[in-house]
Amino acid sequence: MRLPLLSWAPALFPPKHTLVLNYYPFPRHVPFFSSLRRSLIWSDAAITLHCITDEPRPSLAATIANPTMNTKTSVQSSHAAMSSSEESKHDPESGRIVEKQSFYTRCLKEVDNKRAYIPMLVCCFVSGLTDGTIYNAYGTFVSMQTGNTIFVALGTSGFNNKPYGWARSLCSIGFFIIGSFCFARLAMLLGGKRRGVLGLSFFSQSVLVMLAAALIQGGVIDGSYPSHRAPGSVDFKEIAVIALLSFQAAGQIVSSRTLSVGEIPTVVVTSMLCDLMSDPALLAWAKNDKRNRRFVAFVLTLVGAICGGWISKASGAVQPSLWTVAGIKLVLAISWLFWTEK
């Protein structure tokens, strides 16, 4: 509600005009300037309050003797205030003056995790696409470590479908563990919910996938499907691709934990299905966000794996799917920089 004593403010300051006030930070002045600022915002005028804190505050006697001291202006402070007001814009809907933020400031802001489940659902599709492609080519997973654990156990017992297949699975497990440690420490040290940290995490994941795709594209590692190698031959250079992809896959689940979207782990299906079936409101018609997200995550993982098989069969190579994954993660990295602020 507009204050009666300030009803004259819109008339004195026409729309699109700016008033610059320099004042000493006396506590009793704060309510007055706050009320004046609201009144001028209603009239579509801008007011800039410049608090003089780098000069000695005058005594009460000096203030009474010279009342104009509290609102004195200077050319230098006026220009600075005017320049800052030019960097702001008035939001007519909310009635607030929205300050422009630098890129560095934007990166330090935490994201609003209200819709953070959307990128995590995309990561479920990415996990299915990656594992569906890599398993066909190299006989191991890079995201779903439950299957790799079984492969290592079978190798230990002497049951090997592929020569040194257990070594690929063991490499995947090891680098997934290392990746989880690194991404988790990065989130804890820098703040995992910040735009810049999330963007950096997904950008690094994209770079690692690009590097793996480039190794195959350049012919350093065989990425043909079906493989041109002899059935009994072993190429340990394949471990490089498995290591890169397993390391980056850990960043997804770390992000889901950091953003409090635990119902979408992105790299685990077993526990997600268990949680889905254990939901007391599984069959309820009422809104149930977690149930819906788990179901969509399972479907996207399945669809991603199907797409991985189709792309590998159609192209006869592994790298097209990897370039697709790298592109998706790069888009996610950029989107975090413009995500809604908390």
pLDDT one-digit tens code per residue, 283-294: 888 889 999 999
Per-residue confidence (pLDDT) for residue 231, from 0 to 100: 60
138-160 pLDDT tens trace: 989 999 999 999 999 988 887 76
Percent residues over pLDDT 70 in the chain: 68
Query: Lowest mean pLDDT: which of 100-104, 205-209, 299-303, 337-341?
Result: 100-104
Domains and CATH numbers, the chain: 121-338 (1.20.1250)
Per-residue confidence (pLDDT) for residue 69, from 0 to 100: 47
46-77 pLDDT tens trace: 455 545 444 455 554 554 455 554 444 443 44
Identify the residue with better confidence: 95 or 232.
Answer: 232
Q: What is the mean pLDDT of the chain?
A: 79
Strand partners, 19: 47
Per-residue confidence (pLDDT) for residue 272, from 0 to 100: 94
Per-residue confidence (pLDDT) for residue 234, from 0 to 100: 73
Residue with tokens 């009342």: 67
Buried residues in 9-27 as b, exposed as e (16+ CB within 10 A): bbeebeeeeebbbbbbeee
- In this prediction, residues 261-265 reach a mean pLDDT of 93
Q: Is the pTM of this model over 0.85?
A: no
In the predicted structure, residue 275 carries a pLDDT above the cut 90: yes
Distance of CA 189 to the CA centre of its chain: 16
Give the confidence band of 93 by pLDDT, cuts at 50, 70, 90: low
Per-residue confidence (pLDDT) for residue 84, from 0 to 100: 45
Cα(59)–Cα(65) distance, integer angstroms = 10
Peptide bond into 15 cis (omega under 30): no
User: Crossing angle, helix 117-138 and helix 289-315, to 10 degrees?
Assistant: 30
Please count the CA atoms within 13 angstroms of the CA of 216 that sit on its side-chain side: 28
Per-residue confidence (pLDDT) for residue 123, from 0 to 100: 97
Per-residue confidence (pLDDT) for residue 236, from 0 to 100: 84
Cα(304)–Cα(131) distance, integer angstroms = 9
Per-residue confidence (pLDDT) for residue 32, from 0 to 100: 53
Decide: 124 and 304 in contact? Cβ < 8 Å.
Answer: yes
